[in-house]
Amino acid sequence: MNPRIKEILSIEPFVIKALWTDGIVRSVDFGSFLQEYAEKEGSIFKKILDRNTFKQAQTDGRTIYWDGLAEMVDYDGKIIPAPLDFCPDVLFQNSTPA
């Protein structure tokens, strides 16, 4: 299993520097990583490539997420806000030591 994100250290336009559970600081360049998806019509990833929205990134000690950017259907069939997050393994594969 790859390490997980322990703490976000800095957030700059589309690059997040984070401390991982293996003790190494890595950067994830979401601008490069998401470019192909952001250009697709109706892509949810376009939302986080807004500078103000991007700055709202958070961690839960496992991955990076943006609260309330996605939607899901609850048990009653109602559409409710949900976090937009990424598999931590995907983030690890797209990270570089900082």
Q: What is the pLDDT of residue 33?
A: 86
Domain residue spans of the chain: 5-97
DSSP string computed for 21-61:
TTS-EEEEEHHHHHHHHHTSTT-GGGGGGSHHHHTT-EE-S
Q: Residue 33: phi, psi to the nearest 5?
A: -60, -40
The third-level CATH classification (topology) of the domain covering 5-97 is NE0471 N-terminal domain-like (3.30.2020)
Q: pTM for this one?
A: 0.91
pLDDT tens sequence across 1-42: 899 999 999 999 999 999 999 999 999 999 998 988 877 888
Across all residues in the chain, what is the average pLDDT?
94
Among 21, 35, 49, residue whose Cα is nearest residue 57: 49
**Dist. CA 66–CA 52, nearest whole Å:** 12
Query: Structure tokens of 85?
Result: 């997050």
